[in-house]
Structure 1
Amino acid sequence: MAEWALHCFKAYDIRGIAYSELDSAFANRLGQALATFLDCSALAVGRDIRESSPELHGAFVQGLTSSGVDVHDLGICTTGALYHATSVLEVDGGVMITASHNPPEYNGFKMCRGTAAMAGEEIQN
């Protein structure tokens, strides 16, 4: 992917078609960008069971760690478990790799700053 798929940046998450709109290069750059934007030292990261989640997860985590972020990898978990982890682990926020209720060809990233879900301008900018 040569460019950011800006239409994938929604009001409450980043979501698009896996392997075309959201690929491993996108996930890696997103990890780097989020690390810079949040200026964080540790994040919790979880993923769902979608076929594309392991690849996106690996690239995203690599982007975070290359930016100096300590990753608390929750593995396969629910979005609720990720939100809970942000309140009990010593982390600056969390990211869930999931497309929730969308069709299986989609995937996405739900992000938290601290224990609060990121939304609106925090995602759009």
Structure 2
Amino acid sequence: MNPQVFREYDIRGVVGRDLDDDFVERLSRAMGVYWSEKGVKRVSIGMDARLSSPRFRDILKHGITMSGIDVYDLGMVPTPVMYFSLFRLDLDGGIQVTG
């Protein structure tokens, strides 16, 4: 795992080199455990139109829901819509997949 992908507010890397299915699966499980310990119950997930986004979204949803967190799938939406969903749906957090 390349530690350089972790930034202050996001995760950035090259798909296939830094970001692959295994990375996303481990990340999703870690996020699920962390959020569960913090009392997070409901999150949203949106994605962009890149080819890898649907696959990464599906892996993230699976790993996070394994921790008992409800994931609201917004489908393909611009990032501001994902942020809007946090307030409109009264959610605890959100993820925008742009990979």
TM-score of the aligned structures, taking structure 2 as reference length: 0.89
Note if contact 1:28-1:63 (Cα within 8 Å) is conserved in structure 2.
Answer: yes
Deviation at 1:11, TM superposition (A): 2.0
Aligned pairs (5 A) from 1:40-119: 40-98=40-98, 107=99
- Could you say which structure has the higher helix fraction? 2
Q: Which amino acid in the other structure matches residue 13 of structure 2?
A: G
Contact 2:25/2:60, CA 8 A, preserved across alignment: yes
Deviations 1:31-85 (A, max 9, x none): 1111222222211000000111011111111111111111100000010000000
Unaligned stretches of 5+ residues in structure 1: 99-106, 108-125
Contact 2:43 / 2:93 at 8 angstroms: preserved in 1?
yes
**Structure 1: distance between partners of 2:84 and 2:20:** 27
| Residue segments in structure 2 that go unaligned for 5+ positions in a row | none
Partner residue, 1:116 = none
Write out the 4+ residue segments of structure 1 that deviate beyond 4 Å after TM superposition. Answer: none
Q: CA separation in 2, counterparts of 1:92 and 1:32?
A: 17
Bigger fraction of residues in strand: 1
Q: Secondary structure of 2:4's match?
A: helix
Moved more, 54-63 or 35-44: 35-44
Kindly provide the amino acid, as one letter, of the partner of residue 67 in structure 1: S
Return 75-84 or 86-95, whichever deviates more: 86-95
TM-score after normalising by structure 1: 0.71
- Quick one: distance in 2 between partners of 1:46 and 1:9? 19
Q: Is the 8 A contact 1:47 1:96 kept in 2?
A: yes
Question: Root-mean-square deviation (CA), in Å?
Answer: 1.2
Percent identical pairs in the alignment equals 35
Contact kept in structure 2, 1:25 and 1:59, CA below 8 Å: no
